[in-house]
Structure 1
Amino acid sequence: MKIVITEFMDDAAVDVLRAAFDTCYLPTLVDQRADLLAQLEQVDALIVRNRTKVDAALLAAAPNLKVVGRLGVGLDNIDVAACAARGIEVIPATGANARAVAEYVIGTAMALLRPAYTRSAETAAGKWPRAALSNGRELSGKTLGLIGFGGIGQLTARLAQALGVHVIAYDPMFGPKAPVWAATGVACTRIDDLLRVADIVSLHVPLVDQTRNLINATALAKMKKTSILINTSRGGIVDESALAQALHASNLGGAAIDVFMQEPLAADTPLADAPNLILTPHIAGVTEESNTRVSAVIATLVGNYLRQKQSL
């Protein structure tokens, strides 16, 4: 059976697949669409990250495709309904990058609360902005509001609680009496209340019709002027123009954004010159350790699925 891997994967996991299957690993194939489609006529398994579009055209070029492995958890780049209609299994690496995302949330929150962490160039240049940088804030004692309380949200809550942070969360999938609230010590909260009281708001929801532009100008206006917004979920959940306006108007304390409507960002993005803003290129869930875990999980699950198909 043949496997094609279109984006970067840990070498050890690729070697595991090569030992058992005809494996084509070309991590730049994602940027060579015509070459990618040409590779798929006899492919049984496809392994992707978030940039490969598993759409109608790709599926049409892969008549033998049996399984898609996703090196991550979001599935918005994969036409899941079309895969299901064809009987193609879609396998995400659920939970394997959760710690990386949770640590990103904590780390960027601390950096934005205490701006000295991101302004070392001034001290290196011989300036001494001690007074200006002495008004940073501590994470301990703050309120973290999580919008979405799945596995990543729950791990983020545990890390924050260990640092003395009060955690509240909104998730319509869990009712107020769901066991998860007592088990985690997190308060179930309405979204409007969360936006109003949280010092840090972190997003952990998929991009669906109900969450598109969830954080728009109206939502941002409900937040404290000192609050911090962190988005590691999906672009399109935050209205980027509204966020830039809020930052320029000092109506928000800061933001860390890892995911965007357009990736890579357009040169004329409204976020380009916004103050108190950390921008990262969709890497919150990608570390050396998480890449090893994600790759190993997908190599195992995809390999096992193909072996089951072979045995039928």
Structure 2
Amino acid sequence: MRILAAGDHFVRPELLRAALDRELAHTGRESPDFAELTLPWPHEPFGPVAGVREASGTEDQLIDALSGASVCVTQMAPFTERVFASSPELRMVAVSRGGPVNVDLDAATRHGVAVSFAPGRNAPAAAEFAVGLMLAAMRRINSSDADLKRGVWRGDLYAYEEGGIELSGATVGLIGYGAIGRIVARVLLAFGAEVLVADPYTDPAAAVADGVRPVGVDDLLRRSSVVSLHARLTPETRHLLDARRLALLPHGAVLVNSARGGLLDHAPLPELLRSGRLGALALDVYDVEPIPDDWALRDVPNVITTPHLAGATRETAHRAASITAAEVGRFVRGEALAHPANPDVLLAGRP
């Protein structure tokens, strides 16, 4: 069996290979023949490649590397119709990220290739980062740091009307209550916040047992002084927070998005911030990445920006490799995949 470890400069090929070595050591099968490919992300931005989103590298580069491979583990490689058609021996693609957006699933299914993914791989990292953004926005940590470094001592921020708000006693709304949202909620509850959650896929009784309160999106927005987005981006959730819904927020509310840029309609944000209607905005994701030079929020007050870093921890990279390797192990042993992206593909025998 030949396995291609198509890593990048975050989930590196050697991490993928080491995790696969551990997973496959006790299968009783001959050790696989490994090939490695290093894709340029994040030194070069990901983007669309021949119809798939958020991919790195080229079709030709991947096709060459896949020669003779029956399995590929990757985070960013562009698995398109052309790649599948050019790789007749390929039987499985294991994607080490929360969703296989770099894979044409219809093409994979047509060519009989099983695809898996790695949900929850960055949940601890992303949850910690989201809470960090909340605290930075609520207490003006970033802007105070910048002012002090340019020689301005902001003693005026002790004035009552300029004071920040605390998580203790605050009502915080989480839109999306999956793996990341649940960790964020536990942290917020430990701070003493009241936590509202809006997620149509969450069992209300289970949410209440967690100590949070399930509500609708509009109700959550009206009642929350801090709102954090943790939903997946789908056609139904694109611009979930549009101008109408943003207007429901209490005056001076804090909004955090470290999930997906498309969840938020960016057009109303500059005026909402300049007017004080929105108290602060913290973004790790954007409608266009990287942000353009003429980005409308570049010179707007009370905006915190980071370059899509929520999941960027070494632990995330190791966790992604381990989850992915476990799926390959199941495939090799003829077991059902834990995280299949195209379950209609029947796994007939071992590769």
Q: Which bracket does the TM-score occupy, shorter chain normalised? A: 0.7 to 0.9
Q: Which deviates more from structure 2 when the two are superposed, residues 271-280 or residues 285-294?
A: 271-280
Partner of 2:326: 300
Counterpart residue number, 1:139: 167
**1:100 and 2:130 matched:** no
- Which shifted more, 213-222 or 29-38? 29-38
Q: Structure 2: which 5+ runs fail to align?
A: 22-30, 42-55, 335-346
Q: What residue is the counterpart of 1:80 in the other structure?
A: 105
Moved over 6 A (4+): none
Q: Does 1:174 align with 2:202?
A: yes
CA distance in 2, matches of 1:47, 1:248: 46
One-letter identity of the residue aligned with 1:77:
N
Cα distance, 1:262–1:273 mapped onto 2, change above 3 Å = same
Give the structure 2 partner of residue 130 of structure 1: 155
Aligned to 1:43: 69
Which amino acid is 2:6 matched to? I
Q: Distance in 2 between matches of 1:187 and 1:107?
A: 22
Return 280-289 or 19-28, whichever deviates more: 19-28
User: Is contact 1:17–1:23 with CA below 8 Å preserved after alignment?
Assistant: no
> For the structure 1 residues 16 and 103, does the alpha-carbon distance in structure 2 shift closer, same or farther, using more than 3 Å as the test?
closer
Q: Does 1:58 align with 2:83?
A: yes
**2:285 aligned residue:** 259
1:3 aligns with: 4
TM-score (norm 1): 0.87
| Alpha-carbon distance between aligned partners in 2 of 1:260 and 1:116, rounded to the nearest angstrom | 21
- Matched residue SS, 2:256: strand
Which SS does the other structure have where 1:260 is aligned?
A: coil
What does the per-residue CA deviation read over 1:140-181, in whole Å, with 9 as the maximum and x for residues that have no partner? 111111111122211111111011111011111235xx4312
The structural deviation recorded for 1:2 is 2.7
Letter in 2 for 1:247: L
| Residue matched to 1:26 | 38
Q: Which residue does the alignment assign to 2:251?
A: 225
The answer to whether residue 156 in structure 2 is matched with residue 153 in structure 1 is: no
Is the 8 Å Cα contact of residues 81 and 108 (structure 2) preserved in structure 1? no
In the alignment, the residues of structure 2 paired with residue 9 and residue 40 of structure 1 have an alpha-carbon distance, to the nearest angstrom, of 18
Secondary structure at 2:219's aligned position in 1? Answer: helix
RMSD: 2.5
Letter in 2 for 1:114: R
| Aligned residue number for residue 17 of structure 2 | 14
Gaps of at least 5 residues in structure 1 are: none
Separation in structure 2 between the aligned mates of residue 118 and residue 128 of structure 1, nearest angstrom: 11
Deviation at 1:117, TM superposition (A): 4.2
Greater Cα shift, 106-115 or 137-146: 137-146
Count of residues in correspondence between the two structures: 309
Distance 1:20-1:168 versus aligned 2 partners, 3 A rule: same
Distance 1:264 1:47 in 2: 26
In 2, the alpha carbon distance for the partners of 1:20 and 1:133 equals 63
The separation in 1 between residues aligned to 2:89 and 2:237, in whole angstroms, is 34
Q: Quick one: structure 1 residues 22 and 52, their matched pair in 2 at CA, closer, same or farther if it must change by over 3 Å?
A: closer
Q: Which moved more, 1:163-172 or 1:282-291?
A: 282-291
Task: Tell me the amino acid that sits aligned with residue 116 of structure 1.
Answer: I
Contact (CA 8 Å) 1:112, 1:254: kept in 2 or not?
yes
Question: What percent identity do the matched residue pairs reach?
Answer: 32
> Secondary structure at the residue paired with 1:233?
coil
Task: Check the 8 A contact 1:76/1:207 in 2, yes or no.
Answer: no
SS at match of 1:208: coil
- 1:249 matched to which residue of 2? 275
